[in-house]
Amino acid sequence: MLGSVLSVLLILTLQGHDRVVEGQMQRAYDYTKYHTMDEILAWMKMMVTDHPDVVSSLVYGSTYENRSITLLKVGLKSAEPKKMIWMDCGIHAREWIAPAFCQHFVKEILGSYKTDPKISEMLKNVDFYITPVLNMDGYVYSWKDNTTRLWRKTRSPGSGNCTCLGTDLNRNFYANWGMVGISRDCCSDIYNGPSALSEPEAQAVTDFLSTNRDMILCFFTIHSYGQLILLPYGHPNITAPNQEELMQVGLAAAEAIKAVHGTDYTVGTPPKVLYPNSGSSRDFARLIGIPFSFTFELRDKGEHGFELPQDQIQPTCEEAYQGAMSIITYVHDKSYLRGAATSLAATLWSVLLAMWLSSATV
């Protein structure tokens, strides 16, 4: 109740600052700050209201504390059935840069599709399904006060006699559940839950992905920190059938990231570049046949860790956007430009060209 009152107040406040950018309405919103759950929900409403022909919202589940899990669908209307790109942010509560990235990503697409023919072409062929905050309960808790700032898990009660709360959502998916890199102690940050899909948030994503798996070209899940692009699988003894291609596409994305601010990202499977794990959403997506599935671990490499300063939000998002776009361009062209040359070099070149064009117009 208080939340919706605050949302209305926020929207009223924002309406005082309308400005017109390149012929379209872009209301002021500070993308260089971290935002509360209520502010992000108000922002989502604003995106739908301001871009009704391109953006709609969809509730696809409910959290343990009964918040509505909502995504933004971004795309141009088409008579043909459209392929899908999935992106979720904020599966781990304390990784605040991730929701900031999802918001930046939506802003960038909406700000560029009218002038950038490649983005426009992609929005005609595919719809983006973007969840700015998946673990909403945890995110709200991480904003409560300093002592809860580093909360990672959901907020559901532990099983049996365990008095700790929360399951690690990224260990709770039905993908080699419970096999490696987990804890059965419900007080642990990597507790994988009483059973696979015990958490309604993991169930909601599972249902959406399973229903639409034939249409989803690419799955992104955004985390921090470590500056990594992670490929399936987290289990050391299981290899994706297209691992070689995933690696090449990931390496091209790392190059696109580096070209923006010189930031180094490492690419590989979790056992190779981080640690083995199981039950992740990335692995589940690949397991059910979604061909391209990536985890981004955004900045930094540990200096500030989860508490990345706000002055790094913009550069972190700018570079990661180019990394994601490099992958999206590749998977789009592979699916829609059959017969045409879709080399990674060509993809990287078009990303660099687009960056040069956009920097020339700033």
Instruction: By CB under 6 A, tell whether 163 contacts ligand NAG.
Output: no
Residue 145 in the binding site for ligand NAG (CB under 6 A)? yes
| Residue in 190, 178, 250 with CA at minimum distance from that of residue 220 | 250
307 touches ligand NAG by CB under 6 A: no
If one asks whether residue 161 binds ligand NAG (CB under 6 A), the answer comes out as: yes
The catalytic position among 108, 297, 318, 319 is: 297
Nearer to ligand NAG, 114 or 184 (CB): 184
Residue with tokens 């059935």: 81
Q: Does 53 bind ligand NAG (CB under 6 A)?
A: no
Residue 108 catalytic?
no
Give the whole-angstrom CA distance, residue 27 versus residue 255. 33
Q: At what angle do helices 243-261 and 344-361 cross, to 10 degrees?
A: 20
DSSP state of 309: -
Least Å from the CB of residue 159 to ligand NAG: 8
Residue 183 interacts with, from Zn ion, ligand NAG, none (CB under 5-8 Å by kind) = none
**Region binding ligand NAG by CB under 6 A among candidate stretches 7-15, 63-71, 91-99, 337-345:** 63-71
22-49 core/surface letters (b: 16 or more CB in 10 A; e: else): eeeebbebebeebbebbbbbbbbebbee
Find, among 315, 347, 355, the residue nearest to 328 by Cα: 347
Peptide bond just before 264 cis, omega within 30 deg: no
Scan residues 216-235 and list those touching Zn ion (CB under 5 A): 223
Question: Hey, which residues between 168 and 227 contact ligand NAG (CB under 6 A)?
Answer: 180
Rounded distance between C-alpha atoms, residue 44 and residue 19, angstroms: 18
305 binds, among Zn ion, ligand NAG, none (CB under 5 to 8 A by kind): none
Residues of this chain that bind Zn ion (CB under 5 A) = 92, 223
Active site residues: 297
Residues of this chain that bind ligand NAG (CB under 6 A) = 64-66, 145-146, 160-161, 180, 236-237
